[in-house]
Amino acid sequence: MVNKTSPVSIRNSEHYFWGNNCEGWHLVKTDELSVILERMPIGTSEVKHYHSRARQFFYVLSGTAVFEIESSRLTVNQNEGIEIPSQVPHKIINESESELIFLVVSQPKSHGDRTTVEEIK
């Protein structure tokens, strides 16, 4: 159901923390679609993982993201995005000198559809 009386923003969306002081806001949260605004402080990353069903699109609003996708690394700059299909191991890293703010769109939702990949050091 669409709320036609007020726009969606971080002020009125469900908020959560993850990782090392990273945070997210659920802008759209349904079983079929998830749109999340996320913020990652300098020097933070998530664990490598994959989603069995969800495909994801990451769009960088501010900062620079480094993605590890399978065994490759890719830099995604402000106003750029990348799609990651289901079943593909990936993680996002903020190696820059500023915070990273991005949108992550998942179809269907990615919560509850995540398998951590053991990383060999």
> Mean of the pLDDT values across residues 65-90?
97
Whole-prediction pTM value? 0.91
> Mean of the pLDDT values across residues 103-109?
96
- Read off the tokens for 46: 């998530």
> What torsion, rounded to 10 degrees, do the Cα atoms 68, 69, 70, 73 define?
-50
Confidence tier at 4 by pLDDT (50, 70, 90): low
The CA distances from residue 12 to 24, 27, 49, in Å, are 12, 9, 29
Distance CA 54, CA 43 (A): 27
Q: What percent of the chain has pLDDT over 70?
A: 94
CATH class of 14-116: mainly beta
What pLDDT, on a 0 to 100 scale, did the predictor assign at position 25? 98
Distance CA 68, CA 29 (A): 26
Q: Which residue has the higher pLDDT, 15 or 1?
A: 15
Q: What is the pLDDT of residues 15-42, one digit of tens each?
A: 999 999 999 999 999 999 999 999 999 9
Question: What's the chain's average pLDDT?
Answer: 93
- Asked if 66 contacts 57 with a C-beta cutoff of 8 angstroms, the reply is no
- Range of weakest confidence among 1-15, 72-86, 87-101: 1-15
User: In the predicted model, is pLDDT for residue 3 greater than 70?
Assistant: no
